[in-house]
Structure 1
């Protein structure tokens, strides 16, 4: 892994036409397209009667993609059918509401003499909704973000760190130009010939970011998320 340049999908689970989605297609489709590195963000289920760990984007009220267990089972099934493949998962916990007992991590066992580094390359747009400011994935320019801009970023990092990034993390991995996209850039750095391919099923989810209903849904989601976080904060203060 140290000598390879591998693409990862940012918030891999957050897909579709949701306002906070980072990808167009689900993890099953990403696996079919050749993605092997996934970034997953987890939160405790907001329902206090449930113990599930959810895959959520910032807040489960904003985007909840279901349980982490379901996604891991999906990946496990893929590996059973493709035993020679290797899957890498990076975990993130928003607001640190999980303890070490909730998620086992091997980071403290890693060989620190062989560090790896990740290049994050994605564009967000700030949206205001009442008193809240939130950064949302910029879907409409992903074809530009994931082409020459990504290549230049990778070249700059290689010059600075004197080695290729081990991972590049992108939103909307299927976007870019036919001959300059996340897959072709990775192939070029790895010295592998790239063959232009159609990713996903060729049909993009409807972009709801500009619709009136989306703006209403966003305001409702943000307000709900804000109230939920406020309740959690008050509860934490009371406990202290």
Structure 2
């Protein structure tokens, strides 16, 4: 010890060694990513995740809704892509279904506040937002909301775009870097203005939506890029026609969300793999809990991991006769003039409500 204390280089060497140990301790290597250690070393573009179509459109007995449970429950149960439709309502960005008269799911700020709270409590998960920018708003109108909520600090900003599916960072590196939120805009993205709002269709192609034939195909419907290298999203939600407009076919949701069999999510995935030699990155579904977790089982099968939730996922909410569900927002019911699918709701009123549609109810 006497020799050590007198050697001029030893104290410096020990100090540098100690500093290295401290740095190593501070930089934690993610060991579990989106629930599985096997996913940490995989590119984001080569992991399949389940998404909630119109994730803000929540309620029962209402033809304008696509989910039973709010965004917090969706994330708790395993949803990792949240798709939404953003509308400019007198300067405030609202989440509405085709029209804010038809269905208003509340403000984007309130919605993202819930997402931020969940991500703060679940630090080993990568979450994706897909914003349908229905009013073609510039990204600079979104960034103040992300900043106010604090999601800008959690957002991944690519240095270049587009990226090939295999060119995205791994889930582990995204988690390690603290950039666990990936956000796509379906139009008007500008990385020079807001570097973390990423263009969708140069990075992702999609299959058709508003599908009423349960024999889902895997044809390329929308893209602006090279489909051979892009990630891709399958719109696997079945509609039925009511008064000439497509609405979610809830009655068939257990089959539509199934692992196998005609019309199932698993069957469409198999079709896509056969046609494109690789699985989709995103599986976008309605009423994700129908099937008792089957949509998550399909994703687990693709990813080669086990699906074994620590607690059962939410169960479908029953519809009720003679009741109305037109208030509440994206936490449970609806705000605005949503229309109700209960026997007591007169057909004439339903027809009037349908007439306010400016497009299909299930616009992606």
TM-score of Structure 1 vs Structure 2, range by shorter chain = 0.7 to 0.9
Is residue 2:254 matched to residue 1:138? no
Q: Which residue of 1 aligns with 2:273?
A: 158
Report the Cα distance in structure 2 between the residues aligned to 1:86 and 1:62, rounded to whole angstroms.
Answer: 32
Match of 1:187 among 300, 305, 310: 300
Structure 2 counterparts to residues 173-212 of structure 1, below 5 A: 173-176=288-291, 178=292, 181-195=294-308, 198-200=312-314, 202=315, 204-206=317-319, 209-212=341-344
Q: Which one has the largest radius of gyration?
A: 2
Maintained 8 Å contact 1:10/1:22: yes
Look up the SS of the partner of 1:164 in the other structure: coil
Deviations 1:14-36 (A, max 9, x none): 11112211111110110111211
Deviations 1:45-73 (A, max 9, x none): 1xx4xx21010111111111000111011
Maintained 8 Å contact 1:38/1:89: yes
Q: Which residue of 1 aligns with 2:27?
A: none
Q: Give TM-score, length-normalised by structure 1.
A: 0.80
Instruction: Kindly state the Cα deviation for residue 216 of structure 1 after the two structures are TM-superposed.
Output: 4.9
Instruction: Kindly state the Cα deviation for residue 205 of structure 1 after the two structures are TM-superposed.
Output: 4.3
In structure 2, relative to structure 1, the CA distance for the partners of 1:108 and 1:124 (3 Å cut) is: farther
Maintained 8 Å contact 1:57/1:64: yes
Structure 2: state its 5+ residue gaps: 1-43, 144-156, 166-229, 321-339, 360-364
Match of 2:96 among 53, 56, 59: 56
Report the Cα distance in structure 2 between the residues aligned to 1:221 and 1:144, rounded to whole angstroms.
Answer: 29
Look up the SS of the partner of 2:124 in the other structure: coil
In structure 2, relative to structure 1, the CA distance for the partners of 1:225 and 1:185 (3 Å cut) is: closer
Instruction: Kindly state the Cα deviation for residue 198 of structure 1 after the two structures are TM-superposed.
Output: 3.4
Match of 2:59 among 16, 28, 34: 16
Q: Which residue of 1 aligns with 2:351?
A: 219
Report the Cα distance in structure 2 between the residues aligned to 1:75 and 1:153, rounded to whole angstroms.
Answer: 29
Instruction: Kindly state the Cα deviation for residue 107 of structure 1 after the two structures are TM-superposed.
Output: 9.0
Maintained 8 Å contact 2:164/2:231: no
Report the Cα distance in structure 2 between the residues aligned to 1:54 and 1:9, rounded to whole angstroms.
Answer: 18
Q: Which residue of 1 aligns with 2:241?
A: 126
Q: Give TM-score, length-normalised by structure 2.
A: 0.54
In structure 2, relative to structure 1, the CA distance for the partners of 1:93 and 1:223 (3 Å cut) is: same
Q: Which residue of 2 aligns with 1:44?
A: 88
Q: Which residue of 1 aligns with 2:225?
A: none
More off after superposition, 148-157 vs 214-223: 214-223
In structure 2, relative to structure 1, the CA distance for the partners of 1:206 and 1:38 (3 Å cut) is: same
